[in-house]
Amino acid sequence: MVLDAGKIKIGKAMTGVEAGLSCGACHGIGDKPAIAVFEGEGPNLRASGERLTPDYFHLWMNDPPRVWPGTIMPKYALDGKTPLTQYYEGDSRKQFEAIRQYLRSLSKNQNNEKNP
């Protein structure tokens, strides 16, 4: 898979606290630890791009409680949109792909992506 530098930049911004979904609050991202864990710390996201298939990643991001009932991870998308309209006009599929590519860029084995 060839990573897209533009998507990586947007994905990184989207994981942030300032203008993103605040992924780094509950999850470590690469060498950065989680910064504001409330109920429980999520796994470090560094290996998620390598560990998860693209289809599963998108399924999870669109509706975590549907995939894993009882998870504390919130649902960020409703009807294919997120509140972050500054990125891809709120299109959750494009936004989550940007996040996936950013996380994939952190992997030590960028060429070892899982496929269904």
Whether 61 is covered by a domain: the verdict is yes
85-114: pLDDT as tens digits: 999 999 999 999 999 999 999 986 555 555
Domain count, the chain: 1
Which CATH number do you get for residue 10?
1.10.760.10
41-52: pLDDT as tens digits: 999 999 898 889
Whether 95 is covered by a domain: the verdict is yes
Both tokens assigned to 110: 């960028």
Enumerate the β-bridge partners of residue 32: 29
- The answer to whether the beta carbons of residues 65 and 71 sit under 8 Å apart is yes
- The answer to whether the beta carbons of residues 110 and 102 sit under 8 Å apart is no
Whether 30 is covered by a domain: the verdict is yes
Q: Which domain holds residue 44?
A: 5-106
In this prediction the pTM is 0.89
Whether 27 is covered by a domain: the verdict is yes
Whether 80 is covered by a domain: the verdict is yes
Whether 114 is covered by a domain: the verdict is no
